[in-house]
Structure 1
Amino acid sequence: MNHSVRLDNGEHAQLIDNEIERIRECLGRSSKLRDLFDYLVDRSRTGTPPREVEISQDVFGRTTQAGDDGGARVYIHRLRKRLEEIYGDRRGAGLRLTLPLGEYRLIAEIGSADFPGPESAPLLLAPRRQFSWRALAIAAVGLTAAFALVVSLLLWPAPGVREATQVRQSEIWKPLFANRKSVIIAEGDHYLFGEKGAGGEVSRLVRDYRIHSREDLDAYLLSHSSDAARYIDVGQSYIPTTVPRAQQYLAPILARAPSVRVLPATQVPAAAMLSQNIIYLGLSSGLGPLSAPTTSGSRFELSTDSDQIRDKRTGRVYGAGPSGGASPRRQYGLVSLFFGKEGNRYIILAGTSEMGLVGLVETIGAYDGLRELSNALHSSGTAEALYEVDSQGAGVLAVRLVATNQRDQQRVWTP
């Protein structure tokens, strides 16, 4: 039978201390969340749970004198949700730290037999009998990806075995196979957060170019406390439909890699960025943690809030043309090639729009397209190129090499 104890309980002191350290490690890079956790641990151990205004002042440095600062509530909810995620895959664990609803103190639950998973977070899901936008979003993303994969097989044939062999031997791809390291395909994902309706349920999903993660959302809500009751993290992101198509196209080329796994770009571990080959597939606005090495010392500047690429050498701005209609649409794609600190290969394939990515992958994954690029780059292992892509509907009409640049490897990892 479950029972709760304070964090200063002497009988279970070692178990509680070990669990506190484990949770701190799980909280990872989110320093504010970790600061809040440490603060609540200290206050809970002394038996003096803080008030909301104390959290705002002591943890976040706010000067408000009233308990109406939504920032503290945002982080309390964020911490509660994170604890539920951490324990979601540890059913039957013997000790669990919890943050009870309506309270600002941590307690230890001893002897729990069945802990709820992350789906039990009360503020994230609409009532069981109400329409669930989150469920619809998940289903829509899954169906769209499946449909895109079927279409890709019919309309976007991948390279044959012979051509795939030639591509692997090109100067662009050869370093990726020569080092015998595993490959991570980083999908450019875009963060979505929820907007709550009058009844408190999530009524729609929102994408804001200024907000790329739940940490960004937390920071926004801290400075816009009036929106704290309106917006909420729902743990969702979306990936453009052409990304699985691009993966399918490159599959024959990557068949000789030691191992290949697929991750959202925002979830690529820092350790993997140092030691494994990385192939980015997505939009130029979705690079996430790969943005810094892609743009450091680059000739091209990528906009984080639009689909534009600026050539810093000429000052020209390249952006996608209008979509729809009978006229072809002009888009752009950027190829960036460099190495990690342990000799791991990076191949960045980023389009200003979805068809820009399609045209780019068709070129970089085809032997004829690679020959033009290899000649322009003079066999450089660290370089970049900008392509112009004309498309109409779901078809690529023409791809042209616009500009190339030899990158300085020493500047790739230097801010």
Structure 2
Amino acid sequence: MPSDSPAAPPNGGREDAVDGGSDTGFGVAVARMRDALERSRSDKLLALFDHLAARARDAAAPSEAQIAAEVFADGRSAAHRPDANVRVYVHRLRRLIEAEFAHEPGPRLHLPVGTYRLMLVDAATPAQHQGAITAQPPVVPPGPGPTRPWVIALVAVLAVVALVLGSALVVRWQRGAGDRLEGTAPWSALVGASRPIIVVMGDYYFFAETPASGMLARLVWDRAVPTREDLIIFQMLNPQTASAVTDRDQHYVTSATMTAAATIRAALLRDPAFAQRPIRLIAASQLTPDVLKVSDVVYVGQLSGIGALLRDPLTQASGFRLDAGLDSLVDAQGGKPYHSDGLELRDQRIARRDYGYLACLPGPAGNTVLVIAALRDPGLREMADLATDTGRLRGLRRGRIGCGGGFEALFQVRTLGNANLGASLVVDRPTRSQGIWDNAAPAPEYHPIAATAAQVH
């Protein structure tokens, strides 16, 4: 700590303590620095500087605990470690003071390392500054003398112990971070942002059909009519039957999709990196461009339930395409199909295989879009478990940071009827993410509603 006596500073420099002879220079320097901090628009830094300037005359420099209590106190408990805030802001203030007075002659403010006393010093050499920091006459070191062997041995032992303890702490920290979603791809792509996280559930549009006069209407899902706009097109092209179908604005979310979305949301709320951010659940039909551009989006559902807002960029980025039957993915590179057994029992055979899909894409406005999907419900349940298991996520390509520019992974899921039994990685590769939000995907060919293709629920 600096001495408070008015002893002459070394090297013939001016006094660094703020006494009566330097009040004017100190006040000018304080006013100049305060103007610079006001331009930085940091209330905390300005409050810290004002506190240190006001305490500069005190016999003892303010302590870390005093600064924490008088500048950074906000009513929170001590568990939030306000002293750490003091060290961070003092370091930032010291850098700003050095930058403000750099390369200029004359007196300047100085906040020495190791103390919280603000003082005035000359524009001197680094050695002279060091003398000003101590504010004491330099002490002539004693001449070299014999070093005792036990001192050397003790220093060596302490160095080894410090190295071992430091390594153990680093390993423990790394393991702790690795056990959280924030430390693994693709979730690490969402770390550091404050925007809301929207969990989007895949859903399906239903319309009402009245087969004949006097009969009750039934709700119908048809893959050729994924939205109410498609139903309007059908009515325009088929005026003779337009009155038989009506829009009820009904959408259906499978139970597996709701369970998977709840699993993802619960995992995010458990992770400290995401728990403080707003996390909402919505259906794919409720996702709008305004919501998409200000949120990180996590799609959860069957691949057939993804809405056009996400389906178009995903179609352009992915190396797979969903076949017309909605039960297979085809690799565009080699034409290899990946077919789900579905849930039906055929010839006494139980469904044994499904496919899960995981993708991470850069969003349209600096945000991120994750896709956790499958062809059928058993695969979706498995993907929800996999996407929240950091150990299994580490099986993806090593060294990937966040989205890594965009990637997709395909998993073969072992099933037993409607039960999921595990998954193995089949494909892990980058996506074609450049320009996916600037161009529309090719419009699908229009297929009129066929009565035999309609599925009644």
TM-score tier by shorter-chain length is 0.5 to 0.7
Query: Aligned letter for 1:307?
Result: D
Distance 1:338 1:242 in 2: 24
Shift of the 253–284 alpha-carbon distance from structure 1 to 2, 3 Å rule, reads: same
Asked whether 1:221 is paired with 2:244, we answer no
In terms of mean alpha carbon deviation, does 377-386 or 185-194 score higher? 377-386
1:241 corresponds to: 255
Among candidates 301, 305, 320, match of residue 300 of structure 1: 320
Question: Structure 1 300/344 Cα, relative in aligned 2: closer, same or farther at 3 Å?
Answer: same
1:352 to 1:245, Cα distance in 2 relative to 1, 3 A: same
**Matches of 1:194 and 1:163, distance apart in 2:** 51
| 1:257–1:222 Cα change, 3 Å | farther
Partner of 2:414: 390
The one-letter amino acid paired with 1:262 is: L
Give the whole-Å Cα distance in 1 for the aligned partners of 2:216 and 2:398: 53
Q: CA deviation at 1:305?
A: 4.8
Amino acid at match of 2:430: Q
Separation in structure 2 between the aligned mates of residue 178 and residue 308 of structure 1, nearest angstrom: 36
> Distance between the aligned counterparts of 1:163 and 1:356, measured in 2?
28
Structure 2: gaps (5+ residues): 1-175, 270-274, 440-457
1:261 paired residue number: 280
Q: Partner of 1:352 in structure 2?
A: 375
For residues 298 and 194 of structure 2, what CA distance do their matches in structure 1 show? 15
The alpha-carbon distance between structure 1 residues 164 and 203, as it changes in their structure 2 partners (threshold 3 A), is farther
Q: Distance in 1 between matches of 2:260 and 2:336?
A: 28
Number of paired residues? 254
Q: 1:333, 1:386 within 8 Å by CA — same for their partners in 2?
A: yes
- The alpha-carbon distance between structure 1 residues 269 and 314, as it changes in their structure 2 partners (threshold 3 A), is same
In 2: Cα distance, 1:178 partner to 1:201 partner: 57
How far 1:228 moved relative to its partner? 0.7
- 1:402 is paired with a residue whose SS is strand
The one-letter amino acid of 1:177's match is V
CA RMSD of aligned residues (A): 2.3
Equivalent position to 1:400, from 424, 427, 430: 424
* Counterparts in 2 of 1:257 and 1:278: CA distance versus 1, 3 Å: farther
Q: Match of 1:347, SS?
A: strand
Contact 2:362 2:406 in 1 (8 A): yes
Instruction: Note closer, same or farther for the CA distance 1:321–1:305 as it changes in structure 2 (3 Å cut).
Output: closer
Gaps in structure 1 of 5+ consecutive residues: 1-161
Deviation at 1:164, TM superposition (A): 9.5
1:228 to 1:343, Cα distance in 2 relative to 1, 3 A: same
8 Å CA contact 1:167, 1:173 repeated in 2: yes
Structure 1 CA distance, aligned partners of 2:417 and 2:329?
A: 22
Once the 2 structures are TM-superposed, how far is the Cα of residue 170 of structure 1 from its aligned partner? 1.0
Mark the CA change 1:298 to 1:199 in structure 2 (over 3 Å): closer, same or farther. same
**How many Å apart are 1:261 and its aligned residue?**
1.2
Share of identical aligned residues, percent?
Answer: 26
- CA drift at 1:165: 5.2
**Cα offset for 1:303?**
3.3
Q: CA deviation at 1:395?
A: 2.4
SS in 2 for 1:178: coil
Contact 1:338/1:345 (<8 A) preserved: yes
Q: Measure how far apart 1:241 and its partner are.
A: 0.9
Taking a change above 3 Å as real, the CA distance of residues 179 and 257 of structure 1, as seen in their structure-2 partners, is same
Give, in whole Å, the separation in 2 of the partners of 1:317 and 1:376.
29
The separation in 2 between residues aligned to 1:304 and 1:344, in whole angstroms, is: 31
1:122-170 Cα shifts (integer Å, max 9, x gaps): xxxxxxxxxxxxxxxxxxxxxxxxxxxxxxxxxxxxxxxx899522221
Paired with 2:219 and 2:213, the residues of 1 have a C-alpha distance of 16
Normalization by structure 2: what TM-score?
Answer: 0.52
Change (3 A) 1:342 1:322: closer
The TM-score with structure 1 as length reference comes to: 0.57
Point out the structure with max Rg over C-alpha.
2
Aligned to 1:231: 245
Kindly state the Cα deviation for residue 348 of structure 1 after the two structures are TM-superposed. Answer: 0.6
Q: CA deviation at 1:187?
A: 0.9
> CA distance change for structure 1 residues 254 and 381 in 2, over 3 Å: closer, same or farther?
farther
* Residue 410 (structure 1) aligns with: 434
Q: 3-state SS of the aligned residue for 1:250? A: helix
Question: Residue deviations 1:306-328, cap 9 Å, x none?
Answer: 22211011211112115345634
Contact 1:328 1:390 in 2 (8 A): no
Report the CA distance between 1:280 and its aligned residue. 0.5
Label 1:169 to 1:378 Cα distance change in 2 as closer, same or farther (>3 A): closer
For residue 336 of structure 1, what is the aligned residue in structure 2? 359
* 1:21 paired residue number: none
1:13 paired residue number:
none
Secondary structure of residue in 2 paired with 1:373: coil
Paired with 1:230 and 1:348, the residues of 2 have a C-alpha distance of 37
Aligned-residue offset at 1:271 = 1.4
CA distance in 1, matches of 2:211, 2:238: 18
| Contact 2:316/2:432, CA 8 A, preserved across alignment | no
For the 8 Å contact 1:184–1:276, the answer to whether it is kept is yes
Deviation at residue 398 of structure 1 after TM alignment: 2.3
1:318 aligns with 2:319: no
1:182 to 193, 196, 220: 196
Q: 2:294 aligns with which of 263, 266, 275?
A: 275
1:242/1:303 Cα in 2 relative to 1: closer, same or farther (>3 Å)?
same
Give, in angstroms, the shift of residue 393 of structure 1.
Answer: 3.5
Within 1, Cα distance between the matches of 2:292 and 2:340?
A: 30
- Quote the Cα distance in structure 1 between the aligned partners of 2:378 and 2:177: 23
